[in-house]
Amino acid sequence: MITVVTGGSRGIGAAVVRKFAQAGHQVYFLYRSSHQQAQALCRETGAVAIQADVADEASVQAAFSRIPSVDTLICNAGIAHYGLISDISSAEWDRLFAVNVKGVYHCVRAALPHFLHNQAGNLITVSSMWGQAGASCEAAYSATKGAVIALTKSLAKELAPSGVRVNCIAPGVIQTQMLSNLSSQDLQALSEQTPLGRLGTPEEVADAMVFLASEAARFITGQVLSLDGGFLL
């Protein structure tokens, strides 16, 4: 089984690479700039790293030309932005949509010939609980992640006749570098707001993806799986 992970060099993506490699998959992962982390992950897991910018169609096509086939595609690459809607520039807005939404489109288009040839496949996208509920001061990010959910549901309907399952993970507050701008007090407050009383881990997100890509999930498609410790309840 060949699994492709975007944004695979760190955070949730690196945990996904590790989990799928441990499950016996041949893993290819795309990364944009974290070269040293990518190479270290390759040595650790036996995965293959390919440098690419998911926002650039030519870059994505060149990356996928190096991958012999695709059984599972995990669209994890994403960026965030925190600030008032009145303060975000048009360029910043466009960059978020280019990476978080158009990046998914580019990668799906690149993997699609493999899915159609095999008449089988798994596509897993990554949204956010803010894509479900919206977040103050994260309007652009929330909008991109809401778009990912809509795209997931549409693709699930479109690709089901070709044997392709499409599902989405919507993480809550996960312990990654995306939280680096938050103070310890902020993190404690988020933990207290979570019914399970703690933040999530990248490994927990990766475990859910391994399940969605497995035969145990063979009748699951078009779903958004919330991994937020009950935050949105």
Q: State phi, psi for 166 to the nearest 5 degrees.
A: -130, 120
**Residue-level pLDDT at 181:** 77
Of 53, 141, 152, which is closest to residue 100 (Cα–Cα)? 141
Domains of the chain by residue range: 2-227
Active site residues: 141
Assign domain 2-227 to its CATH architecture.
Answer: 3-Layer(aba) Sandwich (3.40)
Contact between 213 and 2 under an 8 Å Cβ cutoff? The reply is: no
**Residue-level pLDDT at 182:** 80
Residues whose CB falls within 8 Å of the CB of residue 52, separated by 6 or more in sequence, listed in order = 30, 31, 32, 59, 60, 62, 63
CB burial string 182-213: b at 16+ within 10 A, e below: eeeeeeeebeeebeeeebbebebbbebbbebb
**Residue-level pLDDT at 224:** 98
**Residue-level pLDDT at 24:** 97
Contact between 106 and 162 under an 8 Å Cβ cutoff? The reply is: no
Element (H, E) at 110: helix 103-118
- State whether residue 93 is helix, strand or coil: helix
Per-residue pLDDT of the chain (233 residues; tens, 9 = 90+): 999 999 999 999 999 999 999 999 999 999 999 899 999 999 999 999 999 999 999 999 999 999 999 999 999 999 999 899 999 999 999 999 999 999 999 999 999 999 999 999 999 999 999 999 999 999 999 999 999 999 999 999 999 999 999 999 999 999 998 787 788 899 999 999 999 999 999 999 999 999 999 999 999 999 999 999 999 99
What is the C-alpha to C-alpha distance for residues 125 and 180, in angstroms, rounded to an integer? 23
pTM (two decimals): 0.96
